[in-house]
Amino acid sequence: MIRDQKLWAWHIVAGLIILVLLGLHMVTMHLEGLVPLRVLNPVVGKAPIDWENVVARGKAVTMPVIYVLLLGAALFHGLYGFTNIVREANPPRWLARTVTALAVVVGLGLFALGSWAAVAAHLLARKL
């Protein structure tokens, strides 16, 4: 049995990862005028969502790594939080176990799909 201590510890770590990476996203996409990050927006004179910058970012190996990390952290943080909220309602044991099992299956499925999309986008960008 995975003890709640481990799950909670990783829940906190996942929250910190989300905080850092979403902060990076905000700076890159929405605060480009204030904090220009040339590493992530390399094409000068173009907006962060312009095609040139999107392709340039997509070519970097770090991007799929960041996407996969953010995806894993967000899925774990969100789904563990969701199962905890369900348990707050004091469901029967079988229902709590079913919800947990569903969260694991859905989480792993979405993680696989999202990871494939991130890697595929990177490979596509490198061909352009």
Partner 1 sequence: MSEMTKVTYRIRRYDPNRDAAPHYETYTIDYTPGLTVLEGLWRIKETLAPDLVWRASCRMGVCGSCGMLINGMARLACNTQISDLGTDQLVLAPLPNFDIIRDLVPDLMPMIRTHQELHPYLVREDGGEQEGPTGEYYQSVHDLEQYLQFSYCIKCACCMAACPTMATDPTYAGPMPLAQVQRYNADSRDGGFGVREEAVAGERGPWRCHYAGECSRVCPKGVDPAKAIQLLKRQMVLDYFGLRRAKCPSKLVEKPANPKRREGIPEAPKPTV
Query: Which residues are near partner 1 by CB under 8 A?
Result: 1, 3-9, 12, 84, 87-90
Least distance from C-beta 122 to partner 1, angstroms?
31
In angstroms, rounded to a whole number, what is the distance separating the alpha carbons of residues 73 and 11?
A: 8
87 within 8 A of 96, measured Cβ to Cβ:
yes
125's CB contacts (< 8 A; 6+ apart) are 55, 57, 58, 59
Calpha distance 4→8 (Å, rounded): 6
Closer residue to partner 1 (CB): 53 or 83: 83
Cβ proximity to partner 1: between 7 and 26 the closer is 7
Compute the least distance from the CB of residue 24 to partner 1, in Å.
23
CB of 102 to partner 1, least distance (A): 18
